[in-house]
Amino acid sequence: MRRVNKNERVRIALALNGRKLAAAAEPRTLLSDFIRQNLGSTGTHVGCEHGICGACTVLIDGVAARSCLTLAVQAEGREVKTVESLAAPDGTLNPLQAAFRANHALQCGFCTPGILMSFTDYLARNPHPSSAEIREVLSGHLCRCTGYAGIVKAVEEVASSAPAKAGKGDHASEAKHGGRGV
Amino acid sequence: MSGQLGKPMLRKEDPALLSGRGRYADDLPVAVGTLHAHVIRSPHAHAAIVRIDAAAALAHDGVWAVITGEDVRKLSDPFLAPVKAPVRQWSLAVERVRYVGEPVVLVVAESRYVAEDAAELVQIDYEPLAAVIDPVAACQADAPILHPEAGTNEVSVRDFSYGDPQGAFARADRRIAMTVPFHRLSFTPIECYVVVAAHNAAEGSYDALANFQGPFSMHPVMARALRVPGPKLRLRIPPDSGGSFGIKLSVFPFVVLMALAAKITGRPVKWVEDRIEHLLAASSGPNRVTRIEAAVNNNGRVLALKLDQLEDYGAFLRAPMPGPLYRMHGAVTGAYDIAHVEVKNRVVLTNKMPASLIRGFGGPQLYLALERLMHRIAVELKLDPLDVMRRNLVPAQKFPYHAAAGALYDSGDYARAVEKTIGDGRLADLKRRRDAARQAGRLYGIGFAAVVEPAMSNMGYLSTLMTAAAREKAGPKSGAVSMATVNIDPLGAVTVTADVTVQGQSHETVLAQIVAQELGLKPDDIEVVLEMDTAKDQWSIAAGTYSSRFASGTAVAAHIAAVQMRDKLKTIAAKQLNVLPGDVELAGGKIRSRSNPDNALPFGRVAGTSHWSPMLLPESMAPALSETGVWSPQELEAPSRDDRINTSLTYGFIFDMCGIEIDPVTYQVRVDRYVSMHDAGRIMNPTIAEGQIRGAFAQGIAAALYEEFSYNEEGAFLSGTFADYLVPTVSEIPEVEILHMESPSPFTPLGAKGLAEGNCMSTPACIANAIADALAVRDVVLPATPRRIHELMQHNEK
């Protein structure tokens, strides 16, 4: 395990949305701050800094995590994906984003990036969730504008149009998913 | 016309917001060398500041300044406030602290992390004073006084009388009274406050960026505090803001504080509020205790009302407070035709965070009292609550209706709205569910609420708190100006700017629809640019996004601007097409002859004429480059000599009906079925209307069942995290069935009214009535948490 001195700035390297990036930061720097302030990707938002609102959710090696409860040094050498990774390079929205738009699942849009990242992870493991399962995942996020109805509808729409052959998530990824408050 | 308005469309805002390309305040670049601030806050509800020792913090590496209330007092003036009581507030506490979380010291350093490290080295000695938290206790003679210069905590008291309330009370069969408290809460936008401020010493000017929401009547308040003329304070609002719900008005003291920090350090200063700070001290709706009494006949007809409204604004009364107490004033009789009214409005200060704007803005407090009273009248007279409400509703033939306290209700048919809501078997279904539940021994209740939803505030309403004589001396205040501008670029592309701040209400989409409709273009052809800059944009004190002013204010201004531009383009095209202007139409991206559509020019060709070839314009015509629509409705008159005030321009109507069941084991309230009927005049975009209603409904549920800022008796704050302050998740928000009818407003060319606050006003009252019905109790305190329900069931008083 890499050891770092708390009083020294250290070089932290990770892959952000497929691009290898590095910057110097204090070991106590939060991953949310590191992504936004050191790496310059401001799509990830910080809403509470105590792990409840979910706005800062990113994928670390494909698994949804609160970037405000993660130190940047913990993401060293790992692959971090944020909301900026979802649309095609020409700006075309992916099916989840497009469903959010079609179902008026956002108003101010501040909580939206975290919600998109949680469902990006979840739908990859469980492409056909029930409405109750969607609500359970969504209950790890706070949205103050929409009353949530449009968000549930958007995810249901994506789930119902996902290819039928992909079944429920396998056990390995369920286990990997365990213990996090998505 | 291409008929864009009234249709759903995909939002123009969404592609950027869905791909992480939003531009919120904390996302925008700052100047190299920008410093970062951290606020040290009071741990005491009430205490004298004895000594502040900043030496160790100042010696810390990377620290630029440690700023105290004494520094702020030297460099700035106290904030102006509408109530002329000697209650002075600066952007940091001076001499004493009056609530937990009050800003005391600002530490400015090279990074936020360093500023927070240094903050731990600042030593502040306090001498605790007795605190008062309860508004009723704060009015008593032996209460600790927050502002000794004022000599009292009850800093404003006014009595109003309309019609002949005394005669009506003497004449009525019965008097029925209740005391109804409303609690403190916020709707906690997920983005907290952000300010970046710079000072230009050579010009003596400030440049500040903040996620401020308006009203821009606060701009002169900030400029005066900074001791500069308005133009020396350039205030910019970013293109995106992460929700507001009224709360982001109260970022204004921090705009002043960071501006002063920039002046002191000579560097731009940035501050991003964190969530703990936000819950502790950002803003709250005011809590209120209402004593309400009806003079009523045995058939349920209400002849007169008496209200004593004691509103608690916390430690300071900041502009534009006491807005919530007066915003509803003209409409204090709600949906009912009651000619005789007596109102006592009292403003009290306590050792809690200052209260300010919040979605619903005075409506939730008023309607909880009024609608609980209507329900209580039915119980006491052994009548059906719905019959009592219907007997008193303003009759359809009386519109436009002059309410007793001065509101001019523009349009509506309240009785029909009620019939449509209960129709199609909806009420029968609720009753069936209730009867089945009660037969099985379960606790089930039905509630109703009728609410008049005002929109676009009269800027003069707050002056109702002064006597007529004082108003005359100060000069009358009235009206509300809205502005929007349509611009044409050299190739005929259209952009729109407007006097709103963006917080998620889809203004970009709706403004594009409004302008596209008049110019014969598609909404996607229109660029809407809504970041605000007080130095370059057109604005009045009414600008901003609050009190549902968009639909009956800025939307109308945009319509006017588009019509002005359309008519100019018609005149220009008539000359080029060699037809009369009356024969020109704009449609499908073309400007053409109505009688001979083949005689047509592309929109861009005609629109570009004013850039490339102004000599081609008809004689004496000003170029058609930029048209500003200014909307200043005449109905928003100043308060009359007898204190009648038309507080808002348009008045929508909501009728809510619900069934709830109480779990006998967990004491949780479960909403079984909820129906909400809205008459908001003409609907401009049904998708967005539904989104606004669902959002307000969720906040109404939050206020009814979950959210509360709580303090103990000493004033310690007990709800400082999202684990203590319960924001509903998807699991807590029940389904709501939304119904619409449309009674267009005759007072605006678009006929549209506000609709985004109504359920914040109606839902708490509707749920409270259903709980009272389920438990057969008289008093229901919100939020109706399991603990409170349990208490009610223990002391069932009937």
Residue B365 has pLDDT above 60, yes or no: yes
* Tokens linked to B76: 């700035």
State the nearest Cα–Cα gap between B18 and chain A, in angstroms. 6
List all residues 6 or more positions away from B43 whose beta carbon is below 8 Å from its beta carbon: B100, B126
The strand ranges marked E within B246-301 are 269-272, 287-296
Q: Do domains B287-404+412-458+647-794 and B481-631 have the same CATH topology?
A: yes
Q: From the candidates A45, A48, A85, which should be mutated to test the interface with B, based on the most B CB atoms within 10 A?
A: A48
CB B647 within 8 A of CB B462: no
List all residues 6 or more positions away from A90 whose beta carbon is below 8 Å from its beta carbon: none
C-alpha torsion sign, points B253, B259, B265, B270: positive
The pLDDT confidence band at residue A179, using thresholds 50, 70 and 90, is: very low
Residue type, B287: N
Cβ <8 Å between B26 and A36:
yes
With 0-12 CB in 10 A as exposed, 13-18 as middle and 19+ as buried, what is B735? exposed
Cβ <8 Å between A148 and B505:
no
List pLDDT tens digits, range B451-471: 999 999 999 999 999 999 999
Residue type, A122: Y
Domain B34-129+193-272: CATH architecture, name and number where available = Alpha-Beta Complex (3.90)
User: B190: which chain A residues are within 8 Å (Cβ-Cβ)?
Assistant: 45, 47-48, 53, 55, 108, 110-111, 142-144
Q: For position A181, what pLDDT does the model report?
A: 37
A97, A110, A136 member nearest B242 (Cβ): A110
Residue A166 has pLDDT above 90, yes or no: no
User: B189: which chain A residues are within 8 Å (Cβ-Cβ)?
Assistant: 108, 110, 144
B520 Rama class: left (phi>0) / alpha (psi -120 to 50) / beta: left
Q: For position B1, what pLDDT does the model report?
A: 38
Cβ <8 Å between B242 and A53:
no
State the nearest Cα–Cα gap between A132 and chain B, in angstroms. 9
List pLDDT tens digits, range A37-91: 999 999 999 999 999 999 999 999 999 999 999 999 999 999 999 999 999 999 9
The strand ranges marked E within A53-158 are 57-60, 63-66, 79-81
Chains A, B: CB contacts under 8 A, how many? 169
State the nearest Cα–Cα gap between A51 and chain B, in angstroms. 9
State the nearest Cα–Cα gap between A31 and chain B, in angstroms. 14
* Tokens linked to B275: 């969530």
User: B18: which chain A residues are within 8 Å (Cβ-Cβ)?
Assistant: 83, 86-87, 93, 97, 100-101, 106, 109, 112, 116
Residue of B nearest to A26 (CA): B113
User: A29: which chain B residues are within 8 Å (Cβ-Cβ)?
Assistant: 113
**B6-10, B240-244, B374-378, range with the lowest pLDDT:** B6-10
The pLDDT confidence band at residue A168, using thresholds 50, 70 and 90, is: very low
* Tokens linked to B776: 């057969």
A102, A110, A138 member nearest B24 (Cβ): A110
Report the Cα–Cα distance between both ends of chain B, in Å, rounded.
Answer: 61
Residue B3 has pLDDT above 90, yes or no: no
Domain B287-404+412-458+647-794: CATH architecture, name and number where available = 2-Layer Sandwich (3.30)
Q: Does B503 touch chain A (CB under 8 A)?
A: yes
List pLDDT tens digits, range B488-520: 999 999 999 999 999 999 999 999 999 999 999
Residue of A nearest to B735 (CA): A149
A108, A138, A151 member nearest B241 (Cβ): A108
Residue of A nearest to B701 (CA): A147
List all residues 6 or more positions away from B295 whose beta carbon is below 8 Å from its beta carbon: B165, B168, B169, B171, B172, B174, B175, B302, B303, B304, B305, B306, B340
The pLDDT confidence band at residue B565, using thresholds 50, 70 and 90, is: very high
C-alpha torsion sign, points B140, B143, B145, B146: negative
List pLDDT tens digits, range B78-98: 999 988 889 999 999 999 999
Q: For position B4, what pLDDT does the model report?
A: 76
Q: For position A175, what pLDDT does the model report?
A: 40
Distance CA B364, CA B757 (A): 9
Residue type, A19: R
User: A143: which chain B residues are within 8 Å (Cβ-Cβ)?
Assistant: 190
Q: For position A162, what pLDDT does the model report?
A: 85
User: A145: which chain B residues are within 8 Å (Cβ-Cβ)?
Assistant: 243, 504, 691, 695
Distance CA B292, CA B180 (A): 8
Cβ <8 Å between A87 and B240:
no
* Tokens linked to B660: 């709830």
List pLDDT tens digits, range B294-338: 999 999 999 999 999 999 999 999 999 999 999 999 999 999 999
Cβ <8 Å between A49 and B275:
yes
List the B584-587 sheet strands across, edge first: B584-587, B590-593, B600-602
State the nearest Cα–Cα gap between B461 and chain A, in angstroms. 28
Is the confidence metric ipTM above 0.90 for this complex? Answer: yes
Cβ <8 Å between A49 and B274:
yes
**Integer angstrom CA distances of residue B437 from A35, B382, B431, B441, B669:** 53, 22, 10, 6, 14
State the nearest Cα–Cα gap between B506 and chain A, in angstroms. 7
Percent of chain B with pLDDT over 70: 99
The pLDDT confidence band at residue A165, using thresholds 50, 70 and 90, is: low
Q: Does B26 touch chain A (CB under 8 A)?
A: yes
State the nearest Cα–Cα gap between B727 and chain A, in angstroms. 7
Q: From the candidates A53, A69, A110, which should be mutated to test the interface with B, based on the most B CB atoms within 10 A?
A: A110
- Phi, psi dihedral angles at B309 (to 5 degrees): -110, 115
- CATH code for the part of the protein at B481-631: 3.30.365.10
CB crowding B473-483: b at 16 or more within 10 Å, else e: eeeebbbbbbb
Q: For position B796, what pLDDT does the model report?
A: 64
List pLDDT tens digits, range B26-55: 999 999 999 999 999 999 999 999 999 999
The pLDDT confidence band at residue A9, using thresholds 50, 70 and 90, is: very high
Cβ <8 Å between B113 and A53:
no
Question: What value does the mean pLDDT of chain B take?
Answer: 97
Residue A178 has pLDDT above 80, yes or no: no
List pLDDT tens digits, range B650-702: 999 999 999 999 999 999 999 999 999 999 999 999 999 999 999 999 999 99
DSSP-assigned beta bridge partners for residue B208: B197, B235
Q: List the domain boundaries for chain B.
A: 34-129+193-272, 287-404+412-458+647-794, 481-631
Q: Which B positions 168-207 lie with beta carbon below 8 A of chain A?
A: 187-192
Distance CA B539, CA B500 (A): 9
Q: For position A3, what pLDDT does the model report?
A: 85
A108, A116, A148 member nearest B242 (Cβ): A108
Cβ <8 Å between B504 and A93:
no
Distance CA B284, CA B558 (A): 32
Cβ <8 Å between A52 and B11:
no
* Tokens linked to B142: 């032996």
- Domains of chain A by range and CATH? 10-79 (3.10.20.30), 95-176 (1.10.150.120)
Cβ <8 Å between A107 and B691:
yes
Q: For position A174, what pLDDT does the model report?
A: 42
C-alpha torsion sign, points B6, B9, B12, B16: positive
Distance CA B534, CA B540 (A): 10
List pLDDT tens digits, range A96-119: 999 999 999 999 999 999 999 999
Distance CA B720, CA A7 (A): 30
Q: For position B33, what pLDDT does the model report?
A: 97
User: B15: which chain A residues are within 8 Å (Cβ-Cβ)?
Assistant: 87, 91, 93, 101
State the nearest Cα–Cα gap between B15 and chain A, in angstroms. 7
Residue of B nearest to A27 (CA): B113
Tokens 């600790």 appear where? B144
List pLDDT tens digits, range A88-98: 999 999 999 99
Q: From the candidates A108, A133, A142, A182, which should be mutated to test the interface with B, based on the most B CB atoms within 10 A?
A: A108
Q: From the candidates A104, A118, A152, A158, which should be mutated to test the interface with B, based on the most B CB atoms within 10 A?
A: A104
State the nearest Cα–Cα gap between B697 and chain A, in angstroms. 7
Cβ <8 Å between B722 and A142:
yes
Residue of B nearest to A51 (CA): B722
Q: For position A17, what pLDDT does the model report?
A: 98
State the nearest Cα–Cα gap between B181 and chain A, in angstroms. 25
Distance CA B106, CA B93 (A): 11
List pLDDT tens digits, range B574-612: 999 999 999 999 999 999 999 999 999 999 999 999 999
Q: For position A1, what pLDDT does the model report?
A: 74
Residue A167 has pLDDT above 70, yes or no: no
B274, B687, B730 member nearest A148 (Cβ): B730
Tokens 């850039």 appear where? B611
**Integer angstrom CA distances of residue B180 from B307, B373, B375:** 11, 9, 13
Cβ <8 Å between B191 and A108:
yes
State the nearest Cα–Cα gap between B170 and chain A, in angstroms. 47
Distance CA B290, CA B136 (A): 11
Distance CA B663, CA B674 (A): 18
Distance CA A107, CA B408 (A): 32
Percent of chain B with pLDDT over 90: 97
Residue A171 has pLDDT above 50, yes or no: no
The pLDDT confidence band at residue A148, using thresholds 50, 70 and 90, is: very high
Residue A173 has pLDDT above 70, yes or no: no
Query: Alpha carbon B476 to chain centroid distance?
Result: 24
User: What are the DSSP calls for B66-131, one per residue?
Assistant: EEEHHHHHHH-PPPP-SS-SS----SS--SEE-STT-EEEEEEESSHHHHHHHHTT-EEEEEE---
